[in-house]
């Protein structure tokens, strides 16, 4: 059975301000769900301490009024950094948002791991992965206690960087509440550009049943690395992506447009729906 794909967008790609206004705009543009990151979307929120019960209630009421589901609660932290003080603060911030995820009824609370170039160049990736596991050892018991799904996003330049490393983390943590946000562009290292079908098939075979949401964005490559572009101009082989996604066992799956420009909402939706 092919999963039902639910089309959405990152909320903060529609700006920063009043959550009801932004959610209304998203819904009017034809999106069915969203990714909410309080610090990036709501005016006046500069830290997770600012995410008060009143603010959460405001977001929940906006969801109900507009009839827009939050597929992902985005929590931007560094779970794999070797800066111990920063990591402990970020872990505490992440844990503080677990009850927010539950209150909103979001499918998962998500983060990337850490950009590996930001780590001390004298340490190995294996050391970074050990630190990531230490972070998850603190996070997952609380997520399990509250019945909340935690989703990590593999990124080729981050601590959790490949299909195999992602599987290693999953196997080490052994939590039914640990899921994956799958961004094909972020998994696409330069050496895999000409092997995309094999890459995405390998990802789905390894951990496809754990995918909580998918990010879709356009990227092109230059000498300075990857840069955002329109979906039609992307180097990502999205046909190969959706050929693989059709084989996952999930009944429903949120597909979130990342880097959206509201004026091109209909164009983006048509592009993505053709992939369905």
Residue 31 φ then ψ, to 5° = -80, 150
- Percentage of the residues of the chain whose pLDDT score is greater than 90: 85
Residue 12: band (very low, low, confident or very high) from pLDDT cuts 50, 70, 90: very high
For residue 227, the model assigns a pLDDT of 83
Half-sphere exposure of 253 (CA within 13 A, CB side): 28
**Using DSSP, how many helices (H) and how many strands (E) does the chain show?**
11, 10
pLDDT, mean of residues 69-80: 95
What is the model's pLDDT at position 126? Answer: 87
Between helices 196-207 and 163-173, what is the axis angle to 10°? Answer: 10
Distance CA 112, CA 126 (A): 17
What are the structural domains, with CATH classification, of the chain? Answer: 4-275 (3.20.20.150)
pLDDT(224) > 80 = no
Residue 226 φ/ψ, nearest 5 degrees:
-90, 145
Place of tokens 């593999």: 154
Q: Write the CB contacts of 151 (distance below 8 Å, at least 6 apart in sequence).
A: 72, 108, 109, 110, 178, 179, 180, 181, 212, 213
Q: Report yes or no: 104 and 56 within 8 Å, Cβ to Cβ.
A: yes
Q: Is 37 left (phi over 0), alpha (psi -120 to 50) or beta?
A: beta
Residue 238: pLDDT over 90: yes
Q: How far is CA 225 from the centre of its chain?
A: 21
Of 166, 155, 158, the closest CA to residue 258 belongs to: 155
Model confidence at 122: pLDDT above 80: no
Query: Which of 77-81, 154-158, 223-227, 269-273 has the highest mean predicted lDDT (pLDDT)?
Result: 269-273
**Residue 103 near residue 139, CB atoms below 8 Å:** no
What was the pLDDT predicted at 124?
A: 82
Confidence (pLDDT) at 120: 58
């Amino acid at each position: 059975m092919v999963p039902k794909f639910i089309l959405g967008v990152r909320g903060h790609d529609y700006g920063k301000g009043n959550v009801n206004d932004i959610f209304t705009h998203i819904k009017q543009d034809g999106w069915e769900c969203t990714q909410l990151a309080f610090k990036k979307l709501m005016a006046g929120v500069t830290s997770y301490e600012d995410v008060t019960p009143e603010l959460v209630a405001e977001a929940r009421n906006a969801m109900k009024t507009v009839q827009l589901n939050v597929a992902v609660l985005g929590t931007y932290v560094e779970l794999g950094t070797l800066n111990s003080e920063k990591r402990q603060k970020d872990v505490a911030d992440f844990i503080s948002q677990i009850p927010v995820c539950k209150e909103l009824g979001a499918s998962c609370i998500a983060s990337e791991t850490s950009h590996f170039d930001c780590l001390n160049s004298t340490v190995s990736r294996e050391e970074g992965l050990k630190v990531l596991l230490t972070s998850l050892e603190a996070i997952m018991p609380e997520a399990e206690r509250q019945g909340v799904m935690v989703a990590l996003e593999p990124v080729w330049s981050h601590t959790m960087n490949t299909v195999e490393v992602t599987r290693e983390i999953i196997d080490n943590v052994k939590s039914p509440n640990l899921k994956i946000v799958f961004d094909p562009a972020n998994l696409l290292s330069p050496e895999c550009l000409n092997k995309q079908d094999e890459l995405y098939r390998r990802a789905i075979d390894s951990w496809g049943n754990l995918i909580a949401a998918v990010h879709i964005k356009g990227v092109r490559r230059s000498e300075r690395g990857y840069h955002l572009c329109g979906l039609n101009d992307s180097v990502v082989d999205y046909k190969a992506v959706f050929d693989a996604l059709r084989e996952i066992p999930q009944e429903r799956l949120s597909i979130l447009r990342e880097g959206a420009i509201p004026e091109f909402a209909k164009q983006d939706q048509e592009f993505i729906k053709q992939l369905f």
